[in-house]
Structures are given as C-alpha cells and as structure tokens.
Structure 1
Amino acid sequence: MPDTRPGPILVINPNSNTHVTDGLVDALAPFATPHGPEIECLTLAEGPFGIQSQIDSDSVILPLTRLVQSRPDASAHVIACYSDPGLDACRSISPVPVFGIQDAGVLTAMARADLFGVIAVAEPSIARHRRTMARMGVLGRLVGEIPLNMSVDETARGAGTFDRLVETGGALRDRGAGAILLGCAGMARHRKPLEEALGVVVIDPVQAATAMALGTVLAANI
C-alpha cells in the first residue's frame, strides 16, 4: 500500500553546529508516531557555528528561505533557533505552516503558568528576544531574562552548563516564574533534569514548536 502519511515536519537548525542538531534529534524522538509525519532534523550548512548576535541571526534568512523552498514535500517547518530568524520571510514563501521556537515556547510557557522567565545564551541575545515578545504583547508576564553568557556550543555540550542552568533558573523561579523557558535550541537535553532540580515547569521551545506543528498537521489530515 502507498504511504498515506503527511509529508515530514522539517526541524531546521539554522546554525552549522551538528552537535546542536543531534540534541534536537534526541529531544524529539518521543514525538515519532507510526501514522503521523516523520520529524526530520536538518542542519543549515551555510549558517554560523552559533547564532548569538543580530548579524548572525540576519545572515541565515536567505539560506533558510532557500532550504524551505527546496522541500515542497514538507507538511510544516520549525525554525529551531530561539531568535526566530527568518520566520516572517519563510512564512511569506511557504505554502505550509512555519513555526518559530520563540513564539511557540512563549505561548506554551504562558499556557502552563501565569508568569515565566527565560534563560538566554548571552547578554546580546536579550534585546532581540524582547523585541519579539513586545510584538507578541507578553512582556507583562515576563519576570525577567537572565543570560548564561556561554556560547551555543557550550550550552549543547559544555561540562559546566547544567550547574549554570540551575543557578540561573533558580533566580528566575525566585522572582516568581512558574515556568522557565530555555532560550536556545542547544539546551534541549537539559530540560527534564532541570525541571526536576528546580521544581517548576521547564519548557524546551523546540519541543513546544514541534508539538504545535504536529498538532496542526494531524488536524489538517483528519
């Protein structure tokens, strides 16, 4: 019999660090279903090794749109970078839904708690994140955003990353955050142990965006 499943959900890591993509594969493995769409994690080879500055974020927009256009088989796209680079551009040329992990992560955090906090990779990221949250109209529910001041690569596989996450997440919890949002796709593998350590909800935005994409695709094919 022919395969009647929807086309794959493409989860695109816009940086060129394959260790980050490997973390996405692990974080999304439980989302695979026998009759649902395949979840395919891709690395944008043209991207910088880590997206930390506005220039890094802007530099991936055109390569992202080219990748999206090259995959007409996809049923949805997820841009797996917390700055949501190229989100508007990709939506403008894609015939299928495109999800940004910051948008999805923030909405999921607010669905789980009244107030939320964000753990950023580094200080320069925060201004970009706040612009997106201002556009969303949600700054009133943000208790704060605290940077780890580490590289994207360190968050994915650094030896001291988890201890910094506990320290930073604890500070946000103490400010009243009922949900902690991981502000980088490279932090995905830390979600569950961090939630156990902090005693509050911890949201991995890649999982949040993929869950939205999966629900959207399945609902469209009922």
Structure 2
Amino acid sequence: MSITVINPNSNEAVTEGLRDTLTGFPNVTCLTLTEGPFGIESQRDSDAVILPMLDLMRATPEASAFVIACYSDPGLDAARSVSSVPVFGIQEAGLATALCRADMFGVIAIGEPSILRHRKYMRRMGVLERLAGERALNMSVDETARGANTFNRLKTVGADLIGDGAGCLILGCAGMARHRAPLEKHLAVPVIDPTQAAVTLAHGTLVASRL
C-alpha cells in the first residue's frame, strides 16, 4: 500500500513539514506540485492547481491512494472522477475527524478571505451547526510554515476559539502541520492536523479493502 500526499503549492517548506508530521505513517510519499502557486490563498489559486495536479496523479500510477494536502480541497471532485484509487481531501477529513472528537469545533484559517471559502464547503457537508467559529491568523502560507511568530498567533487564535465554545480545533492550512502537537499540549484540547486525519482515513480504507 502506497499513499501519495500531494502539496498543491510549490513551497517545499510546506512539503517538508508534511514529511516531518507523517513520519509515523507507513508507506507515505509527499510530493510538491512544482507548477502550483507559492501558497494557495484565494479561490483563483485553488482553481489553478487542478489540472496540473491531475497530471501529477496520472504520472504516479504506483499510488494506492492520494491525499490532497490543501485545506481548500482543490480538485477533489475532479480527481475522484478520474482516479482509479481513493482520493482524500484534508478539509473533508479534518471536519469528519472533528465531529468525532467534540460537540463543537473551531477552525484556524490563514487569512480572512479563506473563511468564506471554508464556510461554503462546510455548508455543503452539512456541518455548520457544529462550528463554534473560525478565526484567521492573517498570515501567508509561507509564514505559517516558516514564521517565527506562527506558534504565538496559533496560541492566541486557538484560545479565542475555545472561548467561542470549540471543544477541538482544526488547523486550516497544511503549512501549520508541525505545530499540532505543541499547540494541543498548550491549549489542552484536541488539535487536528487535517493531513494526518486524511492519511489516517486513507490507510484505514486500504487496510479494510484487503480484509
């Protein structure tokens, strides 16, 4: 079984962060979409990566499952329509996991423009009534992956979401992955890295298919 995780932006620092946080999972390969923007921070960015990402999937026939490691889940429906193996989006997986961890959840977004896009997705999934709130770091994707102040912002925004009633938190960008464990320890509530959630679902799906 081979799970291929695709970072649809071209920022290798984000991919390295994914590799670090997925070391405990067997048979996972993380790839960077070199044709993608440096960070996916708008609907235009999200839409622009779909076709090159599908090309990368076609060029990876050894994959038993794919994970799209961008919280906008760009091209998820298109990928599922053409892929012969399961495809998982990290926003969908993160939300599904959050529903199992707490009655109400909060989402930490990278920027204010992302929130409307995320809310549309949650409305489509029918989970808005379980959303305690979504708040933004107001940082770029690159800053969340490399920035010295990222963790301090995560602590502040996470605490505000807990004040809103969130019993667990979802990191709303793959670039935040390396901060999951220390943030969970600091805030004392479950913190979900959606890429880990998606890889967990992919692994479970592949194991179940062989039983």
1:72 pairs, out of 37, 61, 65, with 61
Query: Counterpart of 2:93?
Result: 104
Cα distance in 1 for residues equivalent to 2:62 and 2:187: 41
Query: Counterpart of 1:154?
Result: 143
1:14 aligns with 2:8: yes
TM-score of the two chains, using structure 1 as the length reference: 0.94
Give the C-alpha shift of residue 220 in structure 1: 1.1
1:92 aligns with 2:86: no
Give the C-alpha shift of residue 127 in structure 1: 1.1
Query: Counterpart of 1:183?
Result: 172
1:20-99 aligned at under 5 Å gives the runs 20-32=14-26, 38-99=27-88
SS in 2 for 1:30: coil
Over aligned residue pairs, what C-alpha RMSD do you find? 0.6
Query: Counterpart of 2:161?
Result: 172
The letter of the residue matching 1:14 is P
The letter of the residue matching 1:22 is E
Cα distance in 2 for residues equivalent to 1:156 and 1:65: 25
Query: Counterpart of 2:189?
Result: 200
Give the C-alpha shift of residue 111 in structure 1: 0.4
Cα distance in 2 for residues equivalent to 1:126 and 1:58: 16
Larger Rg: 1
Query: Counterpart of 2:119?
Result: 130
Q: Is the 1:21–1:41 contact (alpha carbons within 8 Å) kept by the matching residues of 2?
A: yes
Q: Is the 1:121–1:148 contact (alpha carbons within 8 Å) kept by the matching residues of 2?
A: yes
TM-score of the two chains, using structure 2 as the length reference: 0.99
SS in 1 for 2:23: helix
CA deviations 1:62-115 (Å, max 9, x no partner) are 011111112222110000000000100100100110000000000101100000
Q: Is the 1:166–1:194 contact (alpha carbons within 8 Å) kept by the matching residues of 2?
A: yes
Give the C-alpha shift of residue 221 in structure 1: 1.9
SS in 1 for 2:37: coil
